[in-house]
Amino acid sequence: MSAPEIIIREAISLEEMNSLFPLVKQLTPTLTKKRYTELLKVMCANNYRMTCAFIGKKCIGLSGFWINTKIYSGKYVEIDNLVVAEEYRSSGVGKLICDWIIVKAKEENCETAMLDAYVENSAAHRFYFREGYKVRGFHFIKNIKK
């Protein structure tokens, strides 16, 4: 019996992205549905997009991405919040999603790809190193809301 076919495609609406909250929550357990919905509205207004991996109608992985330009990188794609459902991790789904995003970025004339990975997420570090990413710097964050 052959493995089920995995389809990679871009999410087509804010509503579809919003429906994928349970999977996003696996990556960010403290995130609430209300906050996720609020953030998506702002992010989508700023060119945020999402790519999803499906088996049938079930989303088994996703990643957001942005295309923008910076002085040090030129036009780039930023892979954002890549998450694969726990039962499908280490099965190639993350690579399929990333490869799809890179093809899209090349079609849109991006020069580089970049991403952040949480410091404590060593599994993600190993994956990105295997995919040819290099640590270029530190991403600093400071909470300024009192």
Encode 77-91 in three state secondary structure. Answer: EEEEEEEECHHHCCC
pLDDT of 3 strictly over 80: no
Residue 137 lies in a domain: no
Residue 145 lies in a domain: no
User: Would you place residue 1 in the very low, low, confident or very high pLDDT band (cuts 50, 70, 90)?
Assistant: low
Q: Which pLDDT does position 145 carry in this prediction? A: 86
- Determine the structural domain holding residue 121 and report its residue range: 7-130
Q: Is the pTM of this model over 0.85?
A: yes
Q: Which pLDDT does position 141 carry in this prediction? A: 86
CATH of the domain at 45: 3.40.630.30
User: Would you place residue 32 in the very low, low, confident or very high pLDDT band (cuts 50, 70, 90)?
Assistant: very high
Q: Which pLDDT does position 11 carry in this prediction? A: 96
Domain count, the chain: 1
pLDDT of 55 strictly over 80: yes
| Mean pLDDT, the chain, whole residue set | 94
